[in-house]
Structure 1
């Protein structure tokens, strides 16, 4: 999956996260006996900001984009059923691994389970297949593309880790003692880690590998020895000490031509048709009725 498409997936996931937040907020309001608009979301001096005003502002800013994302997803699903386009588990596994290892640190911000990520990737791949199903690409062109871009189809051995950084070994050893007593790694990272950026994420660093030049060799060495769901001994680094936790290990692999042949076909075909990778092309076919007036012309 090209980098720009992976970025689009990540942006889409962030958008859907926003939708989840909106639903979480709206649901209790719908089931509440009180009337929306009579409740106060915030107070500034003597001025109240009502929940109704808040919800209206959220819809005005993000509602169209979120609804469009939902419409596209449903359109792609229906189009795939109509044209009998499917994605195999093997394809999903490959794309998920490539996404994680290529955009390692992005993983800490997705807050999605593997199942949720697979669903998002499946929708993206279905759309690509639908757009390119009638495009012819020669075997020679696909083979040449693979030979010239083998690195695209290689994933390094990668480790999804969290860390807690301290200034002394004594502090790192204290962290380990608390972990042994059952204290959550995430909670300890928020409370004790000197790395403020990852501390806010519960210590989550995303996926690291030897391809990550900004990751210390000590981390890679420690991660290679760790078992999944286990933490490390105190590790000395250039900046002090650290304790690592291994969430997941992905074994490196060079995919052979036959394994990624269909993917290459889609990549070349998309370049040939020069069309945006969007479900809007199917809107008319599946009778989409759009709530927002700005889209009526489409």
Structure 2
């Protein structure tokens, strides 16, 4: 779960207090040492969480004007997350600072709105969607040998090409200590498994049963992959029924944090935001006035000279 969503649960409290104009003297808590008023509480919350809370509230308002996210879409994402986390779901919410599922649902909705804003300009071909569809209808069982560099990966591949045993080579060379005790076995993998590296999945799902890949580089190192089994899902759906859904999923899978941020920036610029609270004037500067890296580098060089 993304860290920024934490502020949404705080935002509701701040807005609720802000709506009490004219009642700023109302007492929130009484003590023998003095009372705490709504104004005092609002100012304290604003000082600590104000910018984050304002950002998230504006994000939802601005994005909701152009894009729609249904309760059904949020429910689906919630169900997916629950399935992925299993018994750890509730603990994950608490560790991320959410009071309950309703708090998290609100942040999930904003994230989906931002995805839609960023994905609208992504182009995918009919062939890409069909390939994605075919991969979604099956599950593979795979094993791998993970090493630190390409040279070692090529050496291992050469040994496999000569007929040496995959499991024995995994135990000898693989740095994946969890998998190499099982001969490199990774178990069953689906194309939308969030725990697996995207580059790894793309390479693995192109393989036929028992086929061994050439070295594949990911963020973890260099892999030699073998698919040991391929099974069609029992509830296979027709392409026409899921085409639009899969096209959107494919677009979203191509997004990265920079694209999400740029899409959000464009929507905020169109909204022409004017912050009236002087203490929160700079709340959107990190997004709207983000310095360009090239410019920063040039400035640094000039300063050195």
TM-score, length of structure 2 as denominator length? 0.45
Could you say which structure has the larger radius of gyration? 2
